[in-house]
């Protein structure tokens, strides 16, 4: 599981970006958690990201993110 304030790397558009994890919340049904990244959001604020995105669009190291760049996955880039 991620920790509040942990640095993560994420795929967005055509780049790898980084930010810190905030607002971790366990899902009521016990099947994971959601979180936000302080540097990733849209017009209405930071997006809520599901824990299933870890390893697809969100990574614990920059090397992992670089290795997955261009795989067709990524977080939304619209407002």
What digits encode the pLDDT tens for the residues 44-76?
A: 778 899 999 999 999 999 999 989 877 667 766
**4 pLDDT more than 80:** yes
The answer to whether residue 24 is domain-embedded is: yes
What digits encode the pLDDT tens for the residues 16-48?
A: 999 999 999 999 988 899 999 998 877 777 889
The answer to whether residue 35 is domain-embedded is: yes
Other Cβ atoms within 10 Å of 41 Cβ, number: 14
Predicted pLDDT of residue 45: 76
Which of 23, 27, 18, 16 has its CA nearest to residue 46? 23
Which residues does 66 contact at the CB level (< 8 Å), separation at least 6? 16
CA distance 3 to 1: 7
The answer to whether residue 29 is domain-embedded is: yes
The answer to whether residue 17 is domain-embedded is: yes
Instruction: Count up the domains in the chain and report the number.
Output: 1
Domain hosting 23: range is: 7-68
The answer to whether residue 75 is domain-embedded is: no
């Amino acid at each position: 599981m991620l920790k509040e304030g942990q640095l993560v790397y994420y795929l967005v558009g055509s780049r790898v970006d980084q930010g810190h994890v905030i607002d971790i919340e366990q899902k009521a049904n016990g099947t994971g958690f959601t979180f936000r990244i302080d540097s990733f959001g849209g017009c209405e604020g930071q997006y809520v990201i599901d824990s299933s995105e870890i390893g697809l669009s969100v990574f614990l190291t920059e090397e992992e993110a670089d290795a997955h760049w261009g795989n067709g996955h990524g977080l939304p880039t619209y407002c």
